[in-house]
Chains A and B, each alone.
Chain A
Amino acid sequence: MNDNTGHIPRILHVEDDQDTREITAIALELTGAVTLLQCTSGEEAIEKAAAFGPDVILLDVMMQTMHGPEVFAAFRQIPEVSDVPVIFMTGRVQQNEVNELMSLGALSVIAKPFEPLELLGTIESALRRAPAAKERVPAVSAC
């Protein structure tokens, strides 16, 4: 992982599929400098999120134990991450499913399968559209 300077985006990735985790990690590292924390379950992410202090959270929807929306709701209850933008990653991309996720307050929804080389760009452009994310950067570096 990259060093924690605060200038490099900190990404918390919650995904229960190991292969997808690995591909995401390689893709992100290949395309830019990021600080990445990967968690294999919602429970683990809830436990580690506050300490990690992410700029953005990539959250899988269908997971073995807690599902994405549940984890999302839990994040909203943790003061340190309650306003960190969340991008869902899901294979369920029917319009109503996407609408549902967006209505929870997600920043964006990335459809699986995703283009690994375009992933970071997608995340960055979503963050650019979200002013809250920029405002959060000092908070992260303060951690």
Chain B
Amino acid sequence: MTKVRFSTSHAVLIVAGLSWGLVLSSSGAFTASPTLGWATVVTSAVLIVVYSYKLWISEKAKRAAIERSEELEHMRNAVDEHCLISVVDQNRKVTFVNDGFLKATGYTADELLGKDPVSFQIHTIPGQPERISRRLKSGQIWSGEIRLVCKGGAHMWTHTTISPRFDRTGRFMGSTSIRTDITAGKIAVEEREVVSILDKLLDNVFIFEPDTYRFKYMNQAAMRRVGWDRSTYINKTVLDTDPNFDRDKFDHLVAPLMDGTLDVVNVRAELDDGTNEIFVQYIRSDSGPGSLVAIFRNISDKIEVERIKDEFISTVSHELRSPITSIKGALGLLLAGAAEDLPAKAQNLVSIAHRNADRLAIIVNDILDLEKIAAGRMEFDFQPSDLCSLITDAVQINSGFGKRFDVTVRAEGLDEPAYAKIDTNRMLQVLTNLLSNAAKFSRPGGEVVVSLDREEDHYWINVRDFGVGIAKADIDKIFDRFRQADNHSERSGKGTGLGLSIVKVIMEQHGGKVIVTSEPGIGSTFSLRLPVDHAAYAGQTDMAMVG
């Protein structure tokens, strides 16, 4: 590769040498002594040639050095392109990083120099940095995979070779690391792994086009369900999965996904292998119509567990009723003087026990109701009914409760019939709950007022007390299960906190709602909103006219 050219300076030297020889010969040196003259010429020529050669050689060396340095520069560029090089001293402080390192990680040299590499490396294997360090200090090279944290926080997988440096006395002076970015390969491997995991998932995964419903992907479980393989499903659509497939129904099902109203649609279906929960999701794409993804999960076991749990709750609750019956009955009889008249103190204690047996009975009922609500099994029998008679009944049923707390329960606004479609028993449960709460939280001698108001399309039944009220912060909590406002009545002790959450569910089932307004120290109003049953109202009015 190295090629020394005959340069101008060589030519100048030779010309100069020859000219000097000619001058000597013409000056008479030849004539004085021809031998000496020729010798001089020859010597001069030799000297000139030798000197020129030396010059030529040194020029060649210089050239070679320049070219080697150019070559090194070229190699350095190549290395910077491919490798991340860093050098640390014996104290594990970075003393050098190459441009490749900076370019790949996005750091500046200042951000890395003087740092311990642990600050930009992630070791997932415990104790790895120490093991590497020991290996280097013993004079061995370490090679393996290390993850780097780049400037923006992204991770970069590198294949890293670290070689130790020692001084002449054999003292460890640090190490040089050379790394290659293998992130792309890693991602490819991980992506392949993800696809393979998806393929082997127990859930059935179907991916299909949102417009044609043509399958793009099925995992193994999905293929087993429909009995197709990779070569066949690609030509099939969702409609081909069942000869009776109802396309309109399916369009209707996925419509909220396509228009963005819902993120996921969830349905349950009884299939050959048992109950399946099916989730359908629409995944948008920048480069096309996106994909619909349907995931089938067999939930037969889960349903069985739920059933056992529900049954357990139901059995336990029912089993509790027998002892409660005895306790409540025995105490009730004692209070009624079945044994003999009780001393005042005993009467008081038995009253406490009796009252709490009542509470226990209510709790058991509430738990059963909540269990039914949770299982979606609370049954409703909606019939057009007059809210006035509902309220009258509720007031009558709860008058005893009012007496116990020395509270009068009074109804108002019941002048005209007010028809709504209600489950009378459930609505009595709601009103009983609200009225007993109102009585409990009233002051002795106070009153509870139930009123009925009519707006255009709905009724409001308001249960108002003039008791302790509910702090603003507690109002939102009172409808949560097992929650109760802190300022519970001292006269009644705590309830379960279940009652109002049941009230809320029952009202929602009626297409209505319950709201509460309250002021601490002044009282609370629970308002039940129910839609007017116009049909029943019209029917009743007609009948009244006929009558």
Contacts and interface: CB of A to CB of B under 8 A. Distances in A.
Interface stretch (A73-81, A87-95, A134-142): A87-95
Contact of A19 (B318, B326, B372): B326
A73 B330 CA distance: 31
- If over half of A's interface residues share one DSSP class (helix, strand or loop), that class is named, otherwise mixed; here it is helix
A116 B318 contact: no
Given A26-B338, A94-B368, A95-B381, A19 B321 contact: no
B427 to A, nearest CB: 13
A37 interface: no
Most chain B C-beta atoms within 10 Å of own C-beta, residue among A23, A113, A114, A117: A113
A114 B325 contact: yes
A17 interface: yes
- If over half of B's interface residues share one DSSP class (helix, strand or loop), that class is named, otherwise mixed; here it is helix
B333 A23 contact: yes
A30 B381 CA distance: 38
Interface in A51-109: 62, 91-92, 94-96
Contacts of B333: 23, 26-27, 30, 116-117
Contacts of A92: 318
B413 interface: no
A48 interface: no
Contacts of A114: 325, 329
B328 A113 contact: yes
Contacts of A116: 329, 332-333, 336
B336 A112 contact: no
B244 interface: no
A115 interface: yes
A20 interface: yes
B367 to A, nearest CB: 12
Contact of B338 (A19, A30, A95): A30
A17 B322 contact: yes
Contacts of B321: 91, 112-113
Most chain A C-beta atoms within 10 Å of own C-beta, residue among B323, B326, B379: B326
Nearest to A16: B322
Nearest to A21: B326
A115 B358 CA distance: 10
Interface in B283-331: 318, 321-326, 328-330
B354 to A, nearest CB: 11
Contacts of A24: 329
Contacts of B368: 94
A23 B330 contact: yes
Contacts of B324: 112-113
Nearest to B358: A113
B425 interface: yes
Contacts of A117: 332-333, 336
B326 A115 contact: no
B379 A112 contact: no
Contacts of A115: 332
B326 A94 contact: no
Contacts of A20: 322, 325-326, 329
B381 A27 contact: no
A101 B328 CA distance: 24
Nearest to A30: B338
Contacts of B328: 113
A8 to B, nearest CB: 20
B361 interface: yes
Interface string B331-345: 011001010000000
A94 B364 CA distance: 12
8 contacts: A17-B322, A19-B323, A23-B326, A24-B329, A30-B338, A94-B379, A114-B329, A117-B333
Given A26-B338, A27-B338, 15 more contacts: A19-B326, A19-B330, A20-B326, A24-B329, A26-B333, A27-B329, A27-B333, A91-B322, A91-B325, A92-B318, A94-B372, A113-B325, A113-B328, A116-B329, A117-B336
